[in-house]
Structure 1
């Protein structure tokens, strides 16, 4: 699907637009470093990864809105102590001047992490991002006990990059998340990238915990299928868990056109009701949109 067909896609489903729960807007100097890392490519990328939408912030916003994306996120994530509060301040300002962005925040295992999360919630944060691979931390780190407790109590969704794709990390994989959920079963975790490549294990967790969702970010695309194909045997579970799967794109940091992510979903053999839920309705319900 070419990008100019995106609007026709969601209109054909009878939707008012798309909701994309996994898009990246961050301070320009941070984004520039992220793009440079992809350009290298760095050891956490592992393959050639051209950025498809390398535009200034205003143009990126215009592109998303032109696709008919009516709500999106500003996925930010720290890779060291001392960054989270600063990123959250930027994201609060971005959300204030970008009303179609779901106010996003983040955290890191460091002293004061609990207070940082409470401050972000008080400022209006509606979704958090945790990047276990880039942050190189165990989600069960005791420094995060208060964080997870607060997020569970407030039922605030957290997008977690915890699968071992594109390159495994010390704390990636389903086991650390399973231990976390055993302690905080009420958490609303959104497993980024469908848990790639440990798809089946994360589907298991979604089947066990009603608060666990999965986002489709990069999953099922030609780019992802070459490295980490989704098991055909697990497709039936996509139907069973259809009300907890959310569309995500990784815009702008994707190596293909935005329309291809939607086209990949249409190739899964699911019906239009499933597509409507994934592309809009499930996220609308989760965030009260």
Structure 2
């Protein structure tokens, strides 16, 4: 049993394989002369909530046509240690409610997690409900640096009137919102580019990070990013073998992805991924967009967006 109360019976089962992967991930970022990685799309949440998320993915085969095994089904402490071993210098605790009266509780948990995990970017969330602006303001006052909005799971329209003051607070604070607004892996009532386009027309100063490159509406969300300088994209699961079977990224759009290279950020969906962490990195490399693009995506863009001071490059193959 860990200090957080989680069962850790599997903690030592895959240490040898983990060591091999740690080496592979380290070789990737050292070759790029980076000090490590910044992963803006990782999930840490209260264990009862995480168990329900894992149960969803365990049953996801009928929804997606593909089995979705959780590669890193470990206790919280091991998951943190593993990200650190990979060289992930900053990560997030992507939390999201699926019903009212849940977001404020999640925000309290995430604030405590960030306090005991200094390399976690303090994460918060919201839901269209009375009082949303109050608890979002509280989260900002407590130091929240990134928010998560999940339009698919939450099944809400980002243009719900109850969220107008929330978006205003976030636009004024210049705090990014990682938003699952694409229709993958299955569409929702309010997914797709339309709702986000309407939101940005009313709140053009928002810093939005479109999760999963907007999968499967890649082209539409590239259009949105080209029209709005505050729109970023994260790479979560995109271009991996798994996602290419579900929703392949169009090769013809690679030049546009390259041109937006200062607004593309590494995301992984760790631990809820059906393949090793290093595969996401190799999938991005296989796009052939060059080392400068990879350096920006895997570290520099997020370091700039989140004002991570004191980050230093290392010489290729050298030490800090």
Aligned 8 A contact 1:193 1:218 in 2: yes
List alignment gaps of at least 5 residues for structure 2: 1-19, 309-320
Task: Give the equivalent residue in structure 1 for 2:311.
Answer: none
Counterpart mapping for 1:250-289 below 5 A: 250-289=269-308
| 1:18 has 2:37 as partner | yes
- Hey, what's the Cα distance between the residues in 1 that align with 2:243 and 2:229? 27
Q: Do residues 170 (structure 1) and 189 (structure 2) align? A: yes
Distance 1:32 1:144 in 2: 28
- Displacement of 1:276 in angstroms is 0.3
> Equivalent residue for 1:92?
111
Q: Structure 1: how far apart are the matches of 2:166 and 2:62?
A: 29
- Deviation of 1:47 after TM superposition, in Å, equals 3.6
Unmatched segments (≥5 aa) in structure 1: none
Q: 62, 73, 90: which one pairs with 1:54?
A: 73
Residues 1:221 and 2:224 aligned together: no
CA contact (8 A) 1:71 1:100 kept: yes
What SS does the corresponding residue of 1:190 show, helix, strand or coil? strand
TM-score under structure 1 length normalisation? 0.98
Shift >6 Å, 4+ stretches: none
Out of 81, 89, 92, which is 1:70 matched to?
89
CA distance in 2, matches of 1:96, 1:51: 27
For the aligned residue pairs, the C-alpha RMSD in angstroms reads 1.2
Q: How far off its partner does 1:41 sit? A: 2.4
Pairwise mapping of residues 90-129 of structure 1 onto structure 2 (< 5 A)?
Answer: 90-129=109-148
Q: Distance in 2 between matches of 1:45 and 1:106?
A: 26
Task: Give yes or no for the alignment of 1:189 onto 2:203.
Answer: no
Distance 1:260 1:94 in 2: 27
2-structure distance, mates of 1:43, 1:105: 31
| Equivalent residues of 2:213, 2:234 under 8 A apart | yes
In 2 relative to 1, CA 43–92 (structure 1 residues): closer, same or farther, beyond 3 Å? farther
Instruction: Tell me the alpha carbon deviations over residues 188-244 of structure 1, each in whole angstroms, 9 at most, x when there is no partner.
Output: 000000000000000011001100000000000000001100011110001110000
Greater mean alpha carbon deviation, residues 79-88 or residues 27-36 = 27-36
Give the alignment's TM-score, normalised by structure 2. Answer: 0.89
Match of 1:152? Answer: 171
Deviations 1:258-287, CA, capped at 9 Å, x for gaps: 000000001111111110000000000000
- Take 2:63 and 2:204, find their aligned partners in 1: how far apart are those partners? 30
Mean alpha-carbon deviation: is it higher for 42-51 or for 94-103? 42-51
Distance 2:63 2:94 in 1: 17
The offset of 1:155, in angstroms, is: 0.8
Is it true that 1:198 corresponds to 2:198 in the alignment? no
